[in-house]
Structure formats: structure tokens, C-alpha cells
Amino acid sequence: MARGGLVVLGCCLFAAPAAASPADTFGLGARSAAMGSAVSADVRDFSANYYNPSGLALARGLDLTAGYSYAAHSLTMNDKDSRVDPVRGIVGGSVAPGSIGFLPFAFGIATFLPDDRLSRARASRQEDPRWVLYDNRTQLIFISANIAIRPFEWLSIGGGMTYLAATRGSFGISGTAVLASEYDSQLRHEVDADLTTQRYPEFGVTVRPHDRLDLAAVYRHQAAIELDIDAELKGTVDASLAKVPARYALESHTVNAFIPRQVVIGESYRPVDQLSINLDLKWVQWSAFKSPVSRSSTTLEVDVPPGLIELPPNPKPTHVEDPGFSDRIVPQLGVEYRLEVTPDLTVPLRAGYVYEHTPIPPQTGLTNYVDTDRHVLSVGSGVVLRDVGAVLPGNVRFDTFAQLSILPTRVTLKESPADYVGDYRAGGTILNVGASVSVGFE
């Protein structure tokens, strides 16, 4: 019983960072991911819940989407695999437009559900190298719900909330521990773990100053999922000659997930009906990043007879270094050409590019937050079938995408020759693929 409890306690205490939501990392939806996520002014499906809630009010009718995505990391340090877990899960959502009197109105929901875990907590010391933006970044349930209105033909406004899931827990042991024989120990342990949620708002607006041009502005708020672990071992230590009351308490606070504040401005230009050229500029406030290192304090109280033994002092609380991350501007470019094969069949061709400059400063000191710049190349295609039958007076869409992230090698040189980790090189690639099927009722 005691051993099993200690294993669970260890698992609970090792809580590592989830630096942002899965949509921030890989995008949301096959069409949007294929276009480099540059769709803030050109999104009309369920992914508008993330990219720009106001796009929901521009949907032509009820729209339902279900899909799947898979991301495989090939990240290395000193040419050795960093063993960053793959990310895979179900993605989907819906858009339901309507009206309130003469005011067009729409409601939408989007979700990403990892298929191997609901939530994960992992950790290491701040000296240990970790890919802080990818190691635990997408191991979260992502749910976003929004509403939008269209007061004028040229203006739509939307907003709502995004929900992320994480875990929290506590642990306790009580009873008598017999030092001479562990089998005679009488210990009881309790483990309490809950799945919790963190909410943060987002808002968006879309303006159409010209028939061939849409402009957008989006705001996503900052959020942090904080993991608090309380553990207490309280009881009696039977040392044969004496029974000694003892109490050990541990308090640990960890930021298990951090979502930076973001502001996006974007445009979608259509020089011809079949072609869309999109550009987004995203400001990400990484300077507000909260260290994922656990802030722990321990207390040991033992009622020892005077003069028998002298206990060491309680350890000092963990000192956490300031991460010193910096803000960044992320350019995103997307292009879509819609090839009209027949009046009822369209084949869209898509491509995108994203450049993310690393927000992490050179790790020359104690910490080892591993990251490099990131170049994201994406392509995608699909099929749009219209007027499938009398039962479906709308369209059916099949979309696929492939996304390759290239992380050029970054060399870290430590200031101290006696550094715990030493100099290292880091880089690699991430391959993300997915597909979806959508049904639209116009």
C-alpha cells in the first residue's frame, strides 16, 4: 500500500510545461492548417472558433466537421532523439447560423480531443534540458465555444471562451511505520486527483471594405493552468526502543500550462473568384511566460527525545530562475486556388508558410529551455461535392493537409565549464498530417 502510494505521489509531483494550446502549435482544421493558419480574415467553418469567432456569422448554413490529425516529433539534442511524444487526436466542431429578428447570428463549437490521454503532468529540474514549447504543449483537451453577429453586410463581430483541461491532486499517508519489519507497518494512504478546466476569452471582428478584400482583427487572452500538489505523511515511527511521532508535509506549485496573450491582424485578398491570398501577423506575448519549474517547500517535524539525534534543518524553498522570454511577431502566409472541375465539383489547392522566431534567449546559465526558430511549410487539397442529393441540399467536403516544421540547429555554449549539462546542439523536424470530412447545409 505504502509503496504504491509513493509511486502515485511521484507521478503527481512531476509536472512539466504545456506552453500553449494544440491549436497554437499545429493549427485547427485541415483547411486552415494547410494554409499556414493564415485564415483570420477568411475562415467560415468550425475553426473560426479559434482563428476568428466573427467568421461564424459569415457561414452560409449549418456546417459539421469531423477529422483526425497526427504530429510526429523528430527533435534531437547532440544528435540524440529527445523522445518528444507524438500528438494525435480527433478534431471537429460545428457552426449553426440563424437570426435574432433581422440580425444574423451564429453559434459555433470546436474541439481537439487527444486519443491517448485526457491530460498529462510531467516535470524535471530547471537544469534539465527540455523542449519547453513542444514537450507537453499539446497534451490537453481543447474546447472553444463562441457566438457571432453580423449587424451590417460589411461587419461581423464574435467572441467566446476556450476551455483547457488539466489535473490537480493531493496525497496523504498516516499510520505506523515499523523500521524492523516493513510487513508489520500499518499505513493508510489517500490519493485525490481531479480533472480541472481553465477558461480564457477571445474576440474577433471581420470587415469587408471591398468585395474582394476582407480585413480581420483577433484577440486571445492569456491563461495559465496551475497545478497545486499537497502531500502529508503523518504518523508514528516504531524504532523498537521508542515510538516517535513524525510529520512530513510538502507543498508544490507548478504552472502546468501557459497560454500567451495574442493579437492577430489579417487580410484576405481575392484577385479573382477562384484565388485567395491571405496574410496574418500575430503578436505573441511570450515575455509573460511563467516558469514551469515546481516551487516546492517541505517541512519535517519529528518529536525526538532531547539529545538522541539532531535532525537536519528543513530545505529552503526552490529558487526559480526568471525565464526571460521575449515577445515575437509571427508572419503567416496562406494561398488557396479553387479549381472548378464541374459545376458540382471543386478541387481546392492550398499552401502556406509560417516563420516563428524563438522567444527563448540563449541558455548560457542555469536553465535549459531548448528551442530554435521554426519554419513551417504546409500543403493541402480536397474535394467539394455540391448537390449530393435531395437529402443534402448543400455540400460534402473532404480535406487533407501535410505540415512540415523545420527547426534549424541551434548551438548553446555554457558560461561555466563545470555546467551540469554542458554545451549542446538542438534541432529537428515535426511532421503533422490530417484529414477531415465536412457536411454543409446551405
The pLDDT tens digits of the residues spanning 299-324 come to 666 666 665 556 666 666 667 788 89
Task: Judge whether residue 326 has pLDDT over 90.
Answer: yes
Which residues are paired to 78 by β-bridges? none
For the segment 288-301, the average pLDDT, to the nearest whole number, is 73
For the segment 262-277, the average pLDDT, to the nearest whole number, is 97
- Provide the terminal-to-terminal Cα distance of the chain, rounded to the nearest Å: 60
CB 338 within 8 A of CB 265: no
CB 434 within 8 A of CB 401: yes
For the segment 256-266, the average pLDDT, to the nearest whole number, is 89
Q: How far is CA 424 from CA 167, 243, 293, 321, 354, in A?
A: 33, 51, 21, 20, 26
Q: How far is CA 296 from CA 178, 290, 299, 301, in A?
A: 28, 15, 10, 17
Task: Judge whether residue 259 has pLDDT over 80.
Answer: yes
For the segment 96-101, the average pLDDT, to the nearest whole number, is 90
Task: Judge whether residue 105 has pLDDT over 80.
Answer: yes
Element (H, E) at 252: strand 243-259
- What secondary structure does DSSP assign to 147-164, as a single string? EEEEEETTEEEEEEEEEE
pLDDT of residue 97: 93
pLDDT of residue 1: 37
CB 39 within 8 A of CB 23: no
Give dist(CA 212, CA 232) in Å, integer: 64
CB 278 within 8 A of CB 353: no
Give dist(CA 30, CA 47) in Å, integer: 9
Give dist(CA 424, CA 66) in Å, integer: 42
pTM of the model: 0.81
CB 425 within 8 A of CB 411: yes
pLDDT band at 257 (very low <50, low <70, confident <90, very high): confident
- Domain segments of the chain: what residues? 2-441
Beta strands in 78-138, from DSSP E residues, in sequence order: 80-81, 87-100, 103-114
**Of 68-77, 116-125, 309-318, which gets the smallest average pLDDT?**
116-125
**What's the burial of 398, exposed, middle or buried (CB within 10 Å: 0-12/13-18/19+)?**
middle
CA atoms within 13 A on the CB side of 194: 9
pLDDT band at 258 (very low <50, low <70, confident <90, very high): confident
Convert the pLDDT of each residue in 28-70 to its tens digit: 999 999 999 999 999 999 999 999 999 999 998 999 999 999 9
Convert the pLDDT of each residue in 330-360 to its tens digit: 999 999 999 999 989 999 999 999 999 999 9
CATH of domain 2-441: 2.40.160.60
Give dist(CA 277, CA 127) in Å, integer: 44
Give dist(CA 286, CA 302) in Å, integer: 44
For the segment 120-149, the average pLDDT, to the nearest whole number, is 77
pLDDT band at 130 (very low <50, low <70, confident <90, very high): confident
Q: Which residue has the higher pLDDT, 310 or 439?
A: 439
By three-state DSSP, how is residue 2 classified?
helix
